[in-house]
Structure 1
Amino acid sequence: MKTRKWLLLGTGGVLLLAGLATGGWVVTETALQATSDRAFCSSCHTMAPFVASYDQDVHGGQNPQGLRANCVDCHLPHDTPGNYLVQKGLFGLKAGWGQVVSLVFEPDWIASMEQRNEFLYDSACLTCHAKLEQAPDQSAAAAFGHRTYFAPDNALTCADCHAHVGHKDLRAHLAGDAQPTTTTEE
């Protein structure tokens, strides 16, 4: 009788732990997906020019295939899952605080463009552009630049050469001089 009781308690404990782990994973994955796309990121008023310029860019769907990168595809590191989660949490806290502060002090986004390497990660670029080093259909200048990037002693980042990646005419959008986007809201 005692063995049966422990067997039932042990089985119940294992099932409970499995259920908690599964539930935790589902909740975490749902939260990660819900806070990773254009719809979520565009809910902040300070992101309006960034979303408008993204909508006009090839990464925002203006390409023959209509493919779109989510905001986190470029703006979070993809080197390890742990670093991704930590940086997502830190970025979320920083963005939330930025929203509060922007009610009083509007950020100087144009000046912040010089710190673009703080908001873009090469590991993110290389997730989609994994075969870039061997890409056959590059111009001579692009091939040279990419060979330089992949050289062992390289100190460049993707954003050093691709300053406006992901956001077409971002400077004009930030200055309020851009043409309105033709992409429909999701």
Structure 2
Amino acid sequence: MALKDSLRTAWQTFSRPAAYFSLGFLTLGGFLAGVMFWGGFNTILEATNKEAFCISCHEMQSNPYEEMKQTIHFTNRSGVRATCPDCHVPHNWTDKIARKMQASKEVWGHIFGSIDTREKFVEMRRTLAEHEWARLKANNSLECRNCHSAESMDITKQGARAAQAHERYLFSGQMTCIDCHKGIAHRLPDMTGVAHWQPTEASGQQ
């Protein structure tokens, strides 16, 4: 009897008008509004993960994108092309949101013209590069590993130098991809004065 009374009370509370609308209507409306908000938010989020969005500002299109078009990440024998988000946006949702929050600084820079000329970009190249290298170093080159798996590497098909470096440093966890492949997709800044810097075939030193 007590259970029946409790259920009746709960139903009356759920269906009783709250000012003008029932609690049930408000709950259903809130749920639908939440679904619509989430769908819209996710749609916008994914739209910002397209290469077309990345190069919609001239700073990116005229500088990093033009440089990437000259690299193996853009044109190669396998026909697999990496896009801007592949390397600069994490795939996991929580990491992606964190990256988007960091990117708000880039929007600020675009609005105020931090690198709106080639001269400004070249002057800022070292700072921009080091910021991205530090991010990749901290996450163990996560974006690189989304496409390149150390477990899938067949070092017998690699050059002797690459095979030795991968076996000694990558497989052991002593170093991560970005330690050696800093200039693989974009031109390197002036590395003068960087301790222990040694350009390799894969470094993209120009």
TM over 0.5: yes
Q: Would you say 1:144 and 2:144 are equivalent positions?
A: no
The structure with the largest alpha-carbon Rg is: 2
Q: In the alignment, which residue of structure 2 is the partner of 1:178? A: none
Q: One-letter code of the match for 1:138?
A: Q
Q: In the alignment, which residue of structure 2 is the partner of 1:157? A: 176
Deviation digits for residues 48-80 of structure 1 (CA, Å, limit 9, x no counterpart): 1101112232323x12343332322211345x5
Q: In the alignment, which residue of structure 1 is the partner of 2:50? A: 37
CA distance in 2, matches of 1:81, 1:38: 18
Q: Please say if residues 72 and 185 of structure 2, whose CA atoms lie closer than 8 Å, have aligned partners that are also in contact.
A: yes
Cα 1:171–1:164 change in 2 (3 A) is closer
Q: Which moved more, 1:138-147 or 1:102-111?
A: 102-111
Cα 1:32–1:112 change in 2 (3 A) is same
Deviation digits for residues 69-118 of structure 1 (CA, Å, limit 9, x no counterpart): 2322211345x522320221212x11122221425982414433661413
Q: One-letter code of the match for 1:40?
A: F
The alignment-based identity, stated in percent, is 29
Q: In the alignment, which residue of structure 1 is the partner of 2:134? A: 118
Q: CA deviation at 1:138?
A: 2.5
Q: In the alignment, which residue of structure 1 is the partner of 2:69? A: 55
CA distance in 2, matches of 1:83, 1:161: 24
Cα 1:157–1:40 change in 2 (3 A) is same
**TM-score normalized with structure 1 length:** 0.69
**TM-score normalized with structure 2 length:** 0.64
Q: In the alignment, which residue of structure 2 is the partner of 1:67? A: 80
Q: CA deviation at 1:149?
A: 1.6
CA distance in 2, matches of 1:7, 1:146: 66
Is there any run of 5+ residues in structure 2 with no aligned partner, and where? 1-7, 17-21, 190-206
CA distance in 1, matches of 2:34, 2:166: 43
Higher relative contact order (CA 8 A, sep 6+): 1
Cα 1:57–1:10 change in 2 (3 A) is farther
Q: CA deviation at 1:160?
A: 1.7
Q: Please say if residues 150 and 171 of structure 2, whose CA atoms lie closer than 8 Å, have aligned partners that are also in contact.
A: no
Q: In the alignment, which residue of structure 2 is the partner of 1:6? A: 14
CA distance in 1, matches of 2:73, 2:28: 44
**Number of residues of Structure 1 aligned to a counterpart in Structure 2:** 164
Q: One-letter code of the match for 1:164?
A: G
Deviation digits for residues 29-64 of structure 1 (CA, Å, limit 9, x no counterpart): 21122112222121222221101112232323x123
Provide the alpha-carbon RMSD of the alignment.
3.2
CA distance in 2, matches of 1:31, 1:49: 25
Q: CA deviation at 1:144?
A: 2.4
Q: CA deviation at 1:10?
A: 5.8
